[in-house]
Amino acid sequence: MSKTSRNRIRKAVFPVAGLGTRFLPATKAVPKEMLTVVDRPVIQHVVDEAREAGIEHFVFITGRGKAVIEDHFDIQFELDRTLAERNKTRELEALAKDLPAAGTTSFTRQQAPLGLGHAVWCARDIVGDEPFALLLPDMLHHGSPGAMKGMIEAYEETGGNIVAVYEVPDDQTHQYGIADVGQARGKAGNVFPINAMVEKPARGTAPSNLAISGRYILQPEIFGLLEKQERGAGGEIQLTDSMLTLARQQDFFAYRFDGDIYDCGMKTGFLMANVAYALSRPDIAAAFRADLDALMAKLKG
Ligand code: UTP
């Protein structure tokens, strides 16, 4: 294996150009990344995770109909002025806290949804020749510390490329990309060298129950591989295909995230995320739990 760069991870890429067909009709005019989990859009939760990890520059791969995501990360002048006039200091402070500093966001358009691999490739000029974080906004990783923070800490030890994984039940491994891993490393025993990655293994053949979860640290050599790549499964340019090629040249590690993961690209995952995030919010948890208990009792009764 060749030595790979150990530079600090400063930039994070968020691919948000997908069509969200599994969530129609909600996603006809509203990007699925703007659907709210409690009172924050899904994309804001994921940007929060990246900020907690020390990311300094946020790169969004957008498409037509997604301009509202850019607006969300800007000042809303009329709103700010009205809040100020009404002395709504707390709301103003909350908005200011979420606002990325000027010049720390970049938006580029994918133009056509040719697949996740193609979306990542669209970030090549903005990321440049340095390792970067990649966060799939659909997948909410709920836990403390956040998934990306843990991954960056692991990266400081390992270098190379890191893919987050989580344990799924053995009878569900055929639905996921699965990592074949070696002996655990790291202080917490949650970092493993990856021997292979298998996309949706046939039932009973999975090398482990560690599913790839949508958080990555990748070396910039991935861009050259994505550029040369033909369309793969589903006629799309697949990220996994280029990662498999890169894994022949560079180290890949799995970071096991031990928190909870919600697939907000799916209706049930999105609903569960809302319940879980609401129950972990000190300001509304007690009232929400009481309502939820009452609803469950009514449904059972
Ligand atoms: P998904 O396949 O989950 O998103 O891609 P999708 O295509 O929007 O969803 P469905 O299947 O139609 O419901 C994972 C991530 O990659 C992005 C998506 O926005 C999502 O965050 N993506 C996917 C792109 O940015 N471009 C693409 O061409 C495909």
pLDDT per residue over 123-177, tens digit each? 999 999 999 999 999 999 999 999 999 999 999 999 999 999 999 999 999 999 9
Ligand 1 near 18 CB (within 6 A): yes
129 domain-assigned = yes
Q: At what angle do helices 89-98 and 77-85 cross, to 10 degrees?
A: 150
Answer whether residue 136 is part of any domain.
yes
Write down the mean pLDDT value for the chain: 93
Choice from 19, 62, 141 to test ligand 1 binding pocket (greatest atom count within 8 A of CB):
19
Separation of CA 21 and ligand 1 centre (Å): 9
Residue 277 within any structural domain of the chain: no
* DSSP designation for 137: T
Residue 154: name the closest of 193, 195, 194, 186 by CA.
186
Distances (CA, A) of 148 to 153, 182, 213, 232: 9, 22, 12, 28
Buried b (16+ CB within 10 A) or exposed e, 229-254: beebeeebbbbbbbbbbbbeebbbbb
Residue type, 37: V
**89 occurs within a structural domain:** yes
> Is 159 within the bounds of a domain?
yes
Question: Could you tell me the two tokens for 113?
Answer: 């949804």
Tell me, yes or no, whether 275 lies in a domain. no
Chain segment 248-299, per-residue pLDDT in tens: 999 999 999 999 999 999 999 999 999 999 999 999 999 999 999 999 999 9
Q: Evaluate whether residue 289 is within a structural domain.
A: no
CB 281: neighbour CB atoms within 10 A? 12
Q: What is the CATH classification number for the domain harbouring 59?
A: 3.90.550.10
Q: Rounded to an integer, what distance in angstroms lies between the CA atom of residue 149 and that of residue 156? A: 11
Helix (H, G, I), strand (E, B) or coil at 31: coil
Q: Which domain holds residue 246?
A: 11-265
pTM as predicted: 0.94
Q: What is the number of structural domains in the chain?
A: 1
What ligand 1 atom has the least distance to the C-alpha of 137?
21
> Using CA atoms, how far apart are residues 106 and 119, in angstroms rounded to an integer?
14
Do the domain assignments include residue 221? yes
